[in-house]
């Protein structure tokens, strides 16, 4: 059973020199110093930091040796041949570790202060061989923090086994956890060797299949740096080649097999559900940006893998994910990419047209076997409603809105008004809210029921006077909140539409010039970049011509 509670006071003195921290690096001299220093800064609970250089050629090894001269807790292992992955260097560090507990750190990430102490305290208090803590994805250079799997880490908890708490499989990271080295050794748990992408999926599955007690804590224990503009992308971001998706499928398949071999049917089932809800949706969101060869190969790989999922596994996934899976299974070739992309977004949007077969909602007239089940029973706030938004940026900037009915659900509720809320992406700060009444659109032959509105956007209010960042375009996300006659309502993102998705330079009384660019995100949602002043215009122009 899971015991979700605040832990009782732990030991007044946490034993020293208990933890080995394994840092792996390959050609990352720019960042590895920060990673190692964050590990050494964890204090006296750290017995040693073991840095494994995977045959770097850019000075990473020399940088590590220089750091080791300044702190005898740092040991450096130099591999003579590059392994092609992350598993082999982690295994090297694990074999060399002498601490009672071990944790892992990648060279381009950092540990926040007291991460090791927080994990160790929980491990000792609960006598748990595995402790997991909160991780944040930090978008750089903006510095925006996005919690990773926040639902798992809202409060301290003790799980007697992963079988009793199958939601734990949603966190496949290996780096935000502390492991008892004796536990790993007793169960022969290690990473896949060599060029094995998503090796942490397999390692984590082995851990969850074997662990008898797992503690979770809300304390931040890992900062995962996301550098989307980096010259060499991390494995999680390097998704342009379909081999990345193939590797992800194989790692997931191996994880499911580990759970099945250990007799953990509930965990195998939960892993399949997670694949649909997370992995499938993430890659479908990007499918429209890929070439035809990628799409064809991706579709074939996905159909082959999903064919092994049973109906119960599909039904356990959330509605957008299981609908996506059923479309892929039903069609031998890629189709409806825009609709799939929009549905895979978070929150999802189901685009028209809205087909029916025998009185039931279906994906398309030629795919009546793909039923859109649960649409009639979903609460209003969970419906994948589509709201089209056409920006018109000018001296009087406006946003034209069209709210689409969804199989009569909105008509029954009676939409009356809409709020458009802007939130600054880097810190989720709430900006201005614009309200408008919704008016039923005039019916035309064959058209869907819709409601329309127009709001005026005061872009100047988005610029902070005197902000040090004002010369750089500031991204703002737009959300809608619709209120209905019956007292119900829902929130939804906006679907970016129309010819107004382009950069405009406007005169501004307050700032001289205002630069505004409405654009569609990868998932098709409307966002807005705004910058002020002549300096920002010159900077952006220089970047453009510099390319």
Instruction: Give the CATH superfamily of 2-226.
Output: Spore Coat Polysaccharide Biosynthesis Protein SpsA; Chain A (3.90.550.10)
CB 460 within 8 A of CB 514: yes
- More confident site: 383 or 533: 383
The pLDDT score that the predictor gives to residue 531 is: 87
Q: Residue 78, Cβ neighbours under 10 Å: how many?
A: 14
- Let me know the angle formed at the C-alpha of 145 by 144 and 146, rounded to the nearest 5 degrees: 120
The mean pLDDT value for 470-477 works out to 79
- Would the pLDDT of 357 be above 70? yes
Give 211-222 pLDDT, tens digit per residue: 989 999 999 999
Q: Tell me whether strands 19-25 and 101-106 are parallel, antiparallel or unpaired.
A: parallel
Say whether 382-546 and 2-226 share the same fold.
Answer: no
In order, the DSSP letters of 402-468 are EEEP-TTHHHHH-EEEEEEEEEETTTTEEEEEEEEE-EEPPP-TTPPPEEEEEEE--GGGGSPTT-T
Least confident of 4-8, 48-52, 222-226, 286-290: 4-8
Give 291-331 pLDDT, tens digit per residue: 999 999 999 999 999 999 988 889 999 999 999 999 999 99
In order, the DSSP letters of 312-367 are HHHHHS-HHHHHHHHHHHH-SS---HHHHHHHHSSS---PSP-EEETTEEEEETTE
Fold of 382-546: Immunoglobulin-like (2.60.40)
Q: Tell me whether strands 130-139 and 214-226 are parallel, antiparallel or unpaired.
A: parallel
pLDDT over 70, % of the chain: 91
Contacts of 483 (CB under 8 A, 6+ apart): 415, 416, 417, 418, 419, 489
Question: What's the whole-model pTM score?
Answer: 0.90
Cis? peptide before 353, omega within 30° of 0: yes
Where along the chain do its domains lie?
2-226, 242-374, 382-546
The pLDDT score that the predictor gives to residue 5 is: 45
């Amino acid at each position: 059973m899971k015991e979700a509670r605040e832990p009782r006071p732990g030991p007044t003195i946490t034993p020293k020199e208990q933890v080995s921290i394994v840092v792996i690096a390959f050609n990352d001299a720019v960042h590895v110093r920060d990673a190692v220093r964050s590990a050494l800064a964890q204090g006296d609970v750290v017995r040693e930091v073991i840095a494994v250089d995977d045959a770097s050629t850019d000075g990473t090894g020399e940088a590590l040796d220089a750091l080791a001269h300044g702190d005898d807790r740092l040991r450096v292992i130099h591999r003579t041949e590059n392994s092609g992955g992350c598993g082999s260097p982690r295994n090297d560090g694990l074999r060399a570790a002498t601490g009672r507990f071990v944790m892992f750190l990648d060279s381009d990430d950092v540990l926040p202060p007291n991460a090791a102490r927080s994990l160790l305290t929980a491990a000792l208090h609960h006598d748990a061989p595995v402790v997991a803590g909160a991780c944040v994805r930090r978008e750089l250079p903006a510095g925006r923090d996005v919690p990773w799997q926040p639902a798992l880490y809202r409060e301290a908890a003790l799980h007697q086994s992963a079988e009793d708490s199958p939601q734990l499989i949603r966190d496949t990271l290996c780096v935000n956890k502390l492991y008892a080295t004796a536990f790993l050794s007793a169960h022969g748990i290690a990473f896949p060797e060599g060029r094995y992408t998503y090796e942490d999926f397999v390692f984590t599955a082995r851990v969850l299949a074997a662990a008898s007690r797992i503690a979770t804590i809300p304390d931040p224990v890992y900062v995962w740096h996301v550098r989307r503009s980096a010259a060499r992308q991390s494995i999680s971001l390097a998704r342009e080649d379909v081999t990345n998706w193939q590797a992800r499928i194989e790692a997931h398949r191996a994880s499911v097999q580990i759970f099945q071999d250990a007799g953990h049917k509930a965990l195998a089932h939960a892993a399949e559900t997670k694949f649909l809800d997370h992995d499938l949706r993430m890659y479908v969101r990007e499918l429209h940006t890929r070439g035809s060869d990628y799409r064809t190969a991706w579709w074939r790989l996905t159909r082959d893998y999903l064919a092994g999922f049973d109906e119960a596994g599909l039904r356990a996934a959330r509605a957008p994910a299981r609908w996506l899976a059923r479309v892929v299974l039903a069609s031998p070739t890629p189709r409806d990419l825009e609709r799939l992309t929009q549905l895979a977004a978070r929150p999802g949007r189901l685009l028209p047209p809205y087909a029916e077969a025998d009185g039931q909602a279906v994906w398309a007239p030629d795919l009546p076997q793909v039923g859109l089940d649960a649409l009639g029973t979903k609460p209003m706030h969970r419906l994948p409603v589509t709201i089209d938004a056409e920006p018109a940026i000018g001296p009087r900037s406006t946003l034209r809105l069209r709210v689409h009915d969804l199989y009569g659900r909105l008509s029954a509720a009676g939409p009356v008004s809409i709020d458009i809320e802007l939130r600054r992406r880097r810190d989720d700060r709430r900006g201005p809210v614009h309200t408008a009444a919704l008016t039923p659109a005039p019916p035309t032959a064959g058209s869907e029921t819709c409601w329309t509105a127009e709001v005026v956007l005061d872009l100047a209010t988005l610029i902070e006077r005197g902000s040090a960042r004002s010369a750089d375009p500031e991204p703002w996300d737009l959300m809608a909140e619709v209120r209905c006659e019956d007292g119900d309502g829902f929130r939804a993102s906006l679907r970016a539409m129309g010819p107004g998705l382009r950069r405009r330079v406007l005169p501004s009384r307050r700032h001289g010039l205002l630069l505004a660019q409405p654009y569609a995100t990868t998932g098709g949602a409307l966002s807005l970049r705004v910058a002020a002043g002549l300096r920002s215009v010159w900077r952006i122009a220089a970047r453009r011509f510099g390319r």
